[in-house]
Amino acid sequence: MHELIQLTERNFYIQSPAKIGLIKLTDNEVCLIDSGSDKEAGRKVRQVLDAHKWKLTAIYNTHSNADHIGGNKYLQAQTKCKIYAPDVECAFTRHPVLEPAFLYGGFPMKELRHKFLMAQESDAEYLTPESLPDCLEMINLPGHFFSMAGFRTSDDVIYLADCLASKSALEKYGITFLYDVGAYLSTLEKVKGMTAKFLVPSHSDVTENNISELAEFNIAKVNEVADTIIKLCAEPLNFETILQKIFTRFNLTMTFEQYALVGSTVRSYLSWLKENGRLEAYFEGNMLLWRKI
C-alpha cells in the first residue's frame, strides 16, 4: 500500500484505497490529485515525497469525500502547499462536518463523526482554471458528489475520481453511493467516450486507451437499482421500508454508517425517479409514501 507507480514520464499514482495522483511539474516540484483517507495516509505520501526529494506545491481535490481529502491538513501543515477543491466541494473541504450532516440529514450523531465520513478541516481555495498548472485541464464529473471533477494531463492521462465503481465492488454490494443519479448517468456517458493513454479511476484498476466497458457496467447497475426500487413500490411504501427492502435485496448489513450512505443514495434515486415520472410521492396519515406510476 502507498506504492508509487509510474504511468508516464511526469505522471504517477500512489496506490491506496483511493488512488492519489502525483504529477511532476518540474524536476523537483509536484502536485497531487487528492491526498488519501487520513493523517496516516498523509504521512505515507510525505515519505514518498521525501524519498524523491520532491516539493509539494498543491493538492487538487477531485471532491470532498473524506477518503479523498483526509491527508490534506497534515500535508498542508508539513509542506505549506495550496489546496484547491471545486465549487461546493470547497465548502465541504473547509468544513468537513457538512459531509456527515448532509448524509444523515441533520446534526450527525457521534457514530457518524469519524474519519471515514468526516476528515479534518483544511484551508482550501476554490478550484478554477486559473489555479491549475498548464499541464492540467479540469473535467466536470458530477453525480457521485456535488461538483466532482477529474483531470486530464498534457501527456494524456485522465484521473477520473469516483465516477466509476469497480466491477467487483458492484457485484459484491450492488449499490454504490450517489448524490445525483441523472448527473451521474450523464457523466458515465461522457466517460464512456473518453480515450487516453491511461485512465485512472480512484477505486478501480488503471486502464489503457478507454474505459467504456466498465462505464457500461456501471450504467447497467444504476438501472438495475432503479428498476428494483420501482418494483418495490408496486404498493405504497415509506422511505424506511424501501431502505430496509434495499438492504435485504442486496444483502447489506445495516450500520449507522451504511444507514447514512445507502439511505442518502436511495433518497437520490427516489428524487430522480419522481422527476422522471416513474414514481409518485404523496402524503397519507402524516407519512410520505412512494408508489409506482
pLDDT at 1 over 90: no
| DSSP result, the chain | ---EEE-SSSEEEE-SSS-EEEEESSSSEEEEE---SSHHHHHHHHHHHHHHTPEEEEEE-S---HHHHTTHHHHHHHH--EEEE-HHHHHHHHSTTHHHHHHHTSSPPGGG-STTT-PPP---EE--GGGS-TTEEEEE--SSSTT-EEEEETTSEEEEETS---HHHHHHHS----S-HHHHHHHHHHHHT-EEEEEEETTS--EEEE-HHHHHHHHHHHHHHHHHHHHHTTS-B-HHHHHHHHHHHTT----HHHHHHHHHHHHHHHHHHHHTTSEEEEESSS-EEEEE-
Q: End-to-end distance of the chain based on CA atoms, in angstroms? A: 49
**Residue range 140-167, pLDDT digits in tens:** 999 999 999 999 999 999 999 999 999 9
Span 282-292, average pLDDT = 98
pLDDT at 45 over 90: yes
Amino acid at 251: N
Residue 231, pLDDT score: 98
User: How many whole angstroms separate alpha carbon 4 and alpha carbon 15?
Assistant: 7
Burial letters 212-234, b for 16+ CB under 10 A, else e: bebbebbbebbeebbebbbebbe
User: How many whole angstroms separate alpha carbon 182 and alpha carbon 219?
Assistant: 11
Span 101-110, average pLDDT = 98
**Residue range 161-195, pLDDT digits in tens:** 999 999 999 999 999 999 999 999 999 999 999 99
pLDDT at 123 over 90: yes
Q: Which residues contact 124 (CB under 8 A, 6 or more apart)?
A: 61, 72, 83, 84, 85, 90, 93, 94
pTM, two decimal places: 0.97
Q: State the cell numbers at 100.
A: 456527515
Residue 54, pLDDT score: 98
User: How many whole angstroms separate alpha carbon 249 and alpha carbon 230?
Assistant: 13
**Residue range 3-39, pLDDT digits in tens:** 999 999 999 999 999 999 999 999 999 999 999 999 9
| Domain locations in the chain as residue ranges | 4-162, 232-292
Cα dihedral 139/140/143/146 (nearest 10)? 120
The CATH class of the 4-162 domain is alpha beta
Q: Are 45 and 55 in contact (CB under 8 A)?
A: no
Residue 292, pLDDT score: 98
Q: Are 135 and 10 in contact (CB under 8 A)?
A: yes
Residue 25, pLDDT score: 98
Is the domain spanning 232-292 CATH 1.20.1260? The answer is no
Residue 2, pLDDT score: 87
User: How many whole angstroms separate alpha carbon 276 and alpha carbon 158?
Assistant: 32
Residue in the structure block whose three cell numbers are 499541464:
135
